[in-house]
Structure 1
Amino acid sequence: MKILVTGGAGFIGSAVVRLAIQRGHSIVNLDALTYSANLANVADAARHPNYSFEEADIRDRAALDAIFAAHQPDAVMHLAAESHVDRSIDGPAAFIETNLIGTFNMLEASRAYWQESGKANFRFHHISTDEVFGSLGEDGQFTETTPYDPRSPYSASKAGSDHLVRAWHETYGLPVVLTNCSNNYGPYHFPEKLVPVVILRALAGEPIPVYGDGGNVRDWLYVEDHADALLLVLENGENGRSYNIGGENEARNIDLVRTICAHMDDLRPEGAPHDRLITFVSDRPGHDRRYAIDPKRIRDELGWRPSVTVDEGLRRTVAWYLENRDWWQPLLGRDGVGKRLGQV
């Protein structure tokens, strides 16, 4: 299968690219190479003859039409998005332009190509987040029928993009599948997100910031498990259906941070105990208290379950960052990295 992956130089997108190439698919990686993109994420895949790269912005419809015409993909996996909640608080416009206008352009370019090419098995896979569902109390889980209740500019923009995809399916018949995932972590994670921040602050002996009381709960999904689930949904998911993808690994932020510190103590004992560096800081505005995914649909219909526990995945991730300084060191100088964002 030839798959057009948008955002394939990003964290999740690059995991999809790497796995898809390993499984024999042909990949067209479309990425605008914004601040969080990194072609080093796909350096090994790029050596493969089944890999192509197109530097383009999903807001540029003419560029999209040209890429579809040149490569004739069998499917689209749409991952390109602005995704950092704190940045969405400081600058929401980029999230509206990329996540809404960009998705609109991708849908229109896909629809035109699908109608003109006559590819009966064409499919548009839209990758989204559990943040569109809002915040949970102490009990319950998000299902595919949970009402949308976004609380940040980021989650609102992703909720809007989900609605656009469903509308293009219902109105125009565009073949689509949708997925909403829980918090991802793992190798190649851009160093502004919680897990790499903790690892790199601990390594440097610097304060490790934890928002509020650290009691916010997330369901943690190892990125390589997520990539596996995404390819499964693309190939076997039911047309027009959505699937929630979770790691079955709920944890409070403070417990996650302490687990990372414990692995740092073991793998890099210099500076231990690293949890002495934990520093509670003021919470960010509109910080959702708890997310939790019910993965029953993808488990029952497609037979997928995560293979990596959060403890195992965090240990792998810590080890990867310790062994790959050459990857993350240059990224520390990029715009906004290492600074506190998202304060009103």
Structure 2
Amino acid sequence: MKYYLRRFTFYVITLWAAISINFLLPRLMPGNAQDIFVAKLLRRGGEITPAMMNSIEAIFGRDDASLWEQYLQYWGNLFKGDFGISITRYPVPVVELIAAALPWTIVLVGLATIISFVVGVGLGAWVGWHRGTWADGIVPFSTLFQSVPYFWIALILIAVFSVNLGIFPIIGGYSLREFPAGPEMSWDFIKSAAYHGILPALTIVISSFGGWLLGMRNMMVSTLAEDYVVTAEAKGLRPSRVAMTYATRNAALPSIAGFGITLGFVVAGSIVMEQVFTYPGIGKLMINAVNENDFALMQGVFLVITITVLAANFIMDLIYGFIDPRARQNV
């Protein structure tokens, strides 16, 4: 119980610090951040309406309000689920923009991450069990793809399968020609979205499964030298039982912990990949917010990513403490 209480306290403090930093970032800009932003908006031909001015004040705070009052108001808005209004897509609330982009990232990046984890860990366990054979040749082949920047892999896949062969679309998350009014819940739309997501998902799998494979292979080799594995083999147990029950089960623990952290970052998306494929996920939303100086949108995306990463790590700490009692012994 002491272990779980300490982990819970740690993540509560971390969440408070992250939210506080998120509040302070626009207010730590040199000069008067609000005046600078308004001047940029006017230079681009924008019009400052009273409603838009209220949104700007919600981001940067009113001139007559103290920093403490702004901080309390910021927390109050968060508890109400109010992240403010997007300046670049006024008057759309930030929550609606994030809610529209989040499913794309979770489905695509989440499934691709799970696939790369399963493939990498499975192959790594098999290569580790057959150490010293031709199977070790898979390791340098897989790490080669990991060392190559994944946006290069994305560009190569586009050049081969989209430009030259014309098999897959180049950009987008669905066919704008078939669905000009936007996403809709239908079987045709799901097929279109899956078709457009093949190359982005393949990019993630190719560029990431090598890390899981190498880590699992090394842990498998180390675990096979442990006394309990040697004893199991000396007792004459079936090789399949030794491999799965004694070796793979224990060797996979570090990979499971790492998978929890990686899964938490799924919400952040693959920013460069989404930009290359013009995929309508959180990563592309973040890039657009940065390019347009949309502070409310940047704060909202950053906050969602932070909360998701912390929640994933907290859940994995609980699971890891349950499956490995050694994690609780030093507390």
Structure with bigger RCO (C-alpha 8 Å, 6+ apart): 2
Identify whether the pair has TM-score above 0.5, normalized to the shorter chain. Answer: no
TM-score by length of structure 1 reads: 0.24
Q: Larger Rg: 1 or 2?
A: 2
Normalized per residue, the structure richer in helix is: 2
More strand by share: 1
